[in-house]
Structure 1
Amino acid sequence: MKKLVTMLMVTVLTAITAKAALAGDTLVDAKKKGVLVAGVKDSLPPFGYIDEKSRQIVGYDIDFVNAIAKKMGVKVELKPVTSASRMPQLQESHIDIIAATMTKNPERAKVIDFSHTYFFTGQKFITKKGSVKSLKDLEGKKIGTAKGSTSEQNVKKAIPSATVLSFDDYPQAFLALQQGKVAAVTTDEAILAGILAKAPNKANFEIPNLQISDEPYGLGMRKGDTNFVNFVNKTLLEMEKSGEAKAIFNKWFGPQTQYHLNRNFKITADK
């Protein structure tokens, strides 16, 4: 019996060691390389998009990555990802961290680790103005969203009779709405506000006050990369305490911006 217990302990320790080795230590590795590689969106203002003047990727998510990298004392390399590609890119070590409007949920948390919530929003819809007053108006209709997003699953649960069409990204879904191929586009309100703000014919569309879920965003890291996760969480809490996190929010969503939203959250230690 004692021998069996010993063998079981060795097996468990081996598994734990293997898992730790698989995850690696991004904090140490990135400092050695001098670079933190971040997976970000590049066509989703104001979270991540290519600035017309600088031709650089900028946005809310990018500012958080830059702050974390600065704290680490390294440079940042930004790699564009989609909702569907971001987790595989992380798991295959092509990127070190996901900063790409990623909602935290139990299913994803089984595969990767998340930071504390650094942005909070809710899932809504863009529709043609006056066409949708309630969810009943979308029953049996075609609704566009992005592949690999939580929005896909949420809208299927909220409106089972709807046909969900999944595109590579949200701008493509909005183009389908403009062309009359879908009756609505659904994702997080903050993303919808960014899409609508950039639309030349935005007066023809609206975001009805119909929310079907809460969407807390987290920065994604490899499962078991504990040292890095703890560092990122500590940095986020420090940014909240110093006012830097609020300043970043106001920069992209404040009253003077075209994406104006109220900051109805604070970054706190998740329970």
Structure 2
Amino acid sequence: MFRTNGGRRALLGAAGAVLLTLPLAACGEKEETGNEPGSGPSVSASVDAALAAKVPDAIKADGVIKVGTDSTYAPAEYLDTDGKTVIGFDIDLFNAVAQKLGLKAEYESAPFDAILPAVSSGKYEIGVSSFTINAERVQSVHMVSYYSAGTQWLAKAGASIDIENACGKKVAVQTGAVQVDDLNTRSKKCTDAGKPAITIDQYQGQSDATAAVVSGKNDAMLADSPAVAYAVKQSNGQLQLVGDIYESAPYGYAVNKEQQAFAEVLKEAVQAVIDDGTYEAALKKWGVEGGGIKTSALNPTS
């Protein structure tokens, strides 16, 4: 997902009361048909001994890599129906990357904008939460690319929203997301032209932002394209996509700046799962293969 200094996510969670009308909401009860995103077979990767040998001793000592994630961002990372297990395409994909390095990933849910500081402090060994790679972020952490996504908007079904002229509209967005800057820029264009500003309502969880549109509190919402498409698909016709996807950019795994060697081997592990087909299988399982990349890179910002 696009975010500025941290993170994004699911359709229920704290917004459950509002979204009870969405029968397929990510954290709610749903009827399993075997055709929903994520319902395919589990995806796993074989250990690459050469890559595993490159993992720094401090990280591989216990065989576990501690991961910080904002588990409110379906279909990338969100809580399963048990309310505890983190699932999603980000999770399946990083599990495969960790397996390639002979490690097991353990996930801890955290607010999006708290994850990168926690990686920098050493609380987490990696941040996996649909972080868009940008120049600001690579100043504080290493970022290893693994996917590409853009921004898209949604609104209530039947609503008329012009994203190029949203002046005077109330728009929801997740706190810490890169879309906050997008909205600030759009709002300034409105006021510079003598039009009403955009009311920008920021929510801690992506689920809360989605719920605000369902309830009518906000006119529209914008977020990373996979999250928006998933929300619309799960809304049982209550929401619609608005406009086209724009400003595509890579997602990256966040690694402590002092862990250059680990960031390098992580890049190699991502490339290995791309090359052996595990990567494509994980993305197809969730229906998000449109954002797949061919080559992983360390700290790409252009």
Superposition TM-score tier, normalisation by shorter sequence: 0.7 to 0.9
Distance 1:132 1:216, change over 3 A: farther
1:218 aligns with 2:252: yes
Distance 1:55 1:269, change over 3 A: closer
Q: TM-score, structure 2 length as denominator?
A: 0.72
* Identical pairs, percent: 21
1:85 aligns with 2:114: yes
2:243 is paired with a residue whose SS is coil
CA deviations on 1:124-153 (whole Å, 9 max, x unpaired) are 111122323522452121111111111111
1:119 is paired with a residue whose SS is strand
Q: Which sections of structure 2, spanning at least 5 residues, go unmatched?
A: 1-53, 189-196
1:157 aligned partner, one-letter code: T
1:124 aligns with 2:152: yes
Q: Which has the higher contact order (CA 8 A, sep 6+)?
A: 2
1:209 is paired with a residue whose SS is strand
1:163 aligns with 2:195: no
In structure 2, C-alpha distance between the alignment counterparts of 1:121 and 1:70, rounded to whole Å = 24
1:101 is paired with a residue whose SS is strand
In structure 2, C-alpha distance between the alignment counterparts of 1:68 and 1:100, rounded to whole Å = 15
1:177 aligns with 2:206: no
Correspondence for 2:168: 140
Of the candidates 79, 94, 101, which is equivalent to residue 50 of structure 1? 79
Contact 1:123 1:215 in 2 (8 A): no
Question: How many residues get paired?
Answer: 238
1:247 aligns with 2:281: yes
In structure 1, C-alpha distance between the alignment counterparts of 2:213 and 2:251, rounded to whole Å = 26
Contact 1:39 1:79 in 2 (8 A): yes
Pairwise mapping of residues 58-77 of structure 1 onto structure 2 (< 5 A)? 58-77=87-106
Q: TM-score, structure 1 length as denominator?
A: 0.80
Contact 2:152 2:242 in 1 (8 A): yes
When Rg is computed on C-alpha atoms for both structures, the one with the higher figure is: 1
In structure 1, C-alpha distance between the alignment counterparts of 2:108 and 2:141, rounded to whole Å = 18
2:242 is paired with a residue whose SS is coil
In structure 1, C-alpha distance between the alignment counterparts of 2:126 and 2:200, rounded to whole Å = 29
2:204 aligned partner, one-letter code: D
- Measured on the aligned residues, the alpha-carbon RMSD in Å equals 2.2
Contact 1:38 1:99 in 2 (8 A): yes
Correspondence for 1:37: 66
Correspondence for 2:240: 206
In structure 2, C-alpha distance between the alignment counterparts of 1:153 and 1:101, rounded to whole Å = 17
